[in-house]
Chain A
Amino acid sequence: GNSVTQMEGPVTLSEEAFLTINCTYTATGYPSLFWYVQYPGEGLQLLLKATKADDKGSNKGFEATYRKETTSFHLEKGSVQVSDSAVYFCALGSSGGGADGLTFGKGTHLIIQP
C-alpha cells in the first residue's frame, strides 16, 4: 500500500536559515504529492502540490519537486520566518483508481526562533 515517510522533528532553526524537510514515499501508479501546513489550533491547509514527475510546486517561498527516480518530495525554503512555525505534513493522493483519500506522513514540527 501507499506510505509516506518524513522527518518528525521538532526541527528548530533561526530566522533566515535555509529549510529542508525530507519526504519520501511508496506508491503504486502516479499519485499527486502534497505538502500541508497546520498552524497551532487550526486545521490543515494546502501549502503546495505537484501532479506529475519533475513538477515543482511552490507557494509563499516554499518549493518542492516531484522526483520519481528517488520517490521524494522534499520541502525547501531559502529564508524562514518566525511565522513559518507550524507542523508540516507530506501527503500523497490515491492512485490506481482508488478513492481512499490522502496518505499522510507523521508530520514535522518546525520551530523558528527570532
Chain B
Amino acid sequence: NAGVTQTPKFQVLKTGQSMTLQCAQDMNHEYMSWYRQDPGMGLRLIHYSVGAGITDQGEVPNGYNVSRSTTEDFPLRLLSAAPSQTSVYFCASSLTGENTEAFFGQGTRLTVV
C-alpha cells in the first residue's frame, strides 16, 4: 500500500544548481499536484496535472517545471535553485481535482544555500 511516494526526503542544494523531486502514486489517480509549505503560509499550489500529458500552473509556479508523461509519475524540476526555494515540498494525488480527498506524500525538505 505505497500510496504517494516522494524522493528524496532531504536535500541540500547550492544556489544555481538544478534538481528533480520525484513523485509517484500507485492509486491510478488522474489528478496530481505539488505544494510548498512555508512557516505561516500554509500550503501553496505550485503546479498541477489533470492527467497524463496535461499540466498547469498553480499559485506560485515561477522557478519550477513539471511534466506528466505517465499517470503514475509527476516530477518537479528546479531549474536554478535560489534560497527563496528553501521549503518543504509535498506531492499529492486525488481521483479528480474537484472536491475529492487528496493523498499526500511524506514531503521533501529542501535547503538552498
Contact = CB atoms under 8 A, between A and B. Distances in A.
* Secondary structure dominating the interface of A: loop
Contact of A43 (B45, B90, B99, B100): B90
A101 B90 contact: no
Contact of A99 (B35, B90, B97): B97
Contacts of A89: 42-43
Interface residues of B, number: 28
A94 B107 CA distance: 23
Residue from B31, B35, B58, B101 whose CB has the most chain A CB atoms within 10 Å: B101
A46 B101 contact: yes
A41 to B, nearest CB: 8
A38 to B, nearest CB: 9
A105 B41 CA distance: 8
Interface in A34-72: 34, 36, 42-46, 49, 51
7 contacts: A43-B105, A44-B102, A93-B100, A98-B98, A99-B31, A99-B96, A101-B58
